[in-house]
Amino acid sequence: MAEGAALRAVRGCLAAFPREARELGWPESVPYLDRPPSPLEFYREWVSPNKPCIIRNAISHWPALKKWTSAYLREVVGPKVVSVAVTPNGYADAVFRDRFVMPEERQMPFMDFLDILEKKVTSSGVFYVQKQCSNLTKEFPELVNDVQPDIPWMTEALGKKPDAVNFWLGESAAVTSLHKDHYENLYCVVSGEKYFLLHPPSDRPFIPYELYQPATYQVSEDGSFQIVDEKTADKVPWIPLDPLNPNLELYPEYAQAQPLQCTVKAGEMLYLPSLWFHHVQQSHGCIAVNYWYDMEYDLKYSYYQLLDGLTKAVKML
């Protein structure tokens, strides 16, 4: 009896967390700012309460907004060999059947990638420049002066430089599966549009995690894709659910989640707070640059760890 009462109490507590978090100020839609904020304003109004926003006129001075055409990228980057993620279905770093499958990382001349993107040649698979190791500064340094090495007001607000600055360019079929990051993320769209589905950290009790054998896509000589296990790697915790088409028979708790959806257009910047779950799609040929600033492991992180621990404990009972 006592154990059953304790379990009901924990479940009741978990159910109350998301509702109370929203009542305390997490938004029902992603708000817009018409100008970049001051460092103090941004930290006080957005970083500290862990709230997303879309900022207009924050990158309107970037030369990239006008310069980054296909012709310009061919001229400036051209034959340089870069890393391109290739998958059969557009899902890199995602659950497929009973595996967590990572993309084939193909080294290829950038102009060959553009030929595929622009349908000048055909190739099996979905191609996406998306290597998240500060690939803008490491693989595309020629383009850095068309944007910025950091966002000055964010750097001042957090008292640190970004850990990584990433360049994104790919097909509309390329999808980023639902996940979270331990970064304060400024996501800037240079051309096209990005489509975000977001969950606040308080939705963790409704979002399933499982452990999966990691594997990688490899392309055979006949062009077909094979899944090859990373046999020495530890299992990876990942979210198996597709938030656009959730299987509520398998994951009925997700029906209680309340996702936010927003479109980030060319010239706009999304502030995606640390620990927010996000699923991302894009228009074909969309170009974006994002800045990852390491999060503070403060009360927000402790709150998430508590929520995560309680969710796991209830699942085990």
CB 210 within 8 A of CB 286: no
pLDDT in tens, 264-282: 999 999 999 999 999 999 9
CB 294 within 8 A of CB 163: yes
Per-residue pLDDT, averaged over 97-126, amounts to 96
Residue 60, pLDDT above cutoff 50: yes
pLDDT in tens, 200-254: 999 999 999 999 999 999 998 888 999 999 989 999 999 999 999 999 999 999 9
CB 218 within 8 A of CB 228: yes
Percent over 70 (pLDDT), the chain = 91
The vertex-33 CA angle with 154 and 270, nearest 5°, equals 55
Q: How far apart are the C-alpha atoms of 60 and 56, rounded to whole Å? A: 8
Higher confidence at residue 4 or residue 133?
133
Q: How far apart are the C-alpha atoms of 11 and 307, rounded to whole Å? A: 11
Residue 1, pLDDT above cutoff 50: no
Residue 49: per-residue pLDDT? 94
CB 192 within 8 A of CB 117: no
Give the chain's domains with CATH numbers.
30-296 (2.60.120.10)
Other beta carbons less than 10 A from residue 141's beta carbon: 9
**And the tokens for 303?**
């709150």
**And the tokens for 51?**
């709230």
Give the phi and the psi of residue 257 in degrees, each rounded to 5. Answer: -75, 155
Q: Which residue is listed with tokens 């390329």? A: 174
Q: How far apart are the C-alpha atoms of 86 and 162, rounded to whole Å? A: 27
Residue 313, pLDDT above cutoff 60: yes
The DSSP result for 188-211, as a single string, is EEEESEEEEEEE-GGGGGGS--EE
CB 304 within 8 A of CB 86: no
Q: How many CA atoms lie less than 13 Å away from 21 in the CB half-sphere?
A: 24
Residue 315: per-residue pLDDT? 81
Q: Which of 263, 271, 250 lies closest to 207 in space, CA to CA?
A: 250
Q: Which helix (H) or strand (E) holds 156?
A: helix 152-158
Q: How far apart are the C-alpha atoms of 209 and 36, rounded to whole Å? A: 36
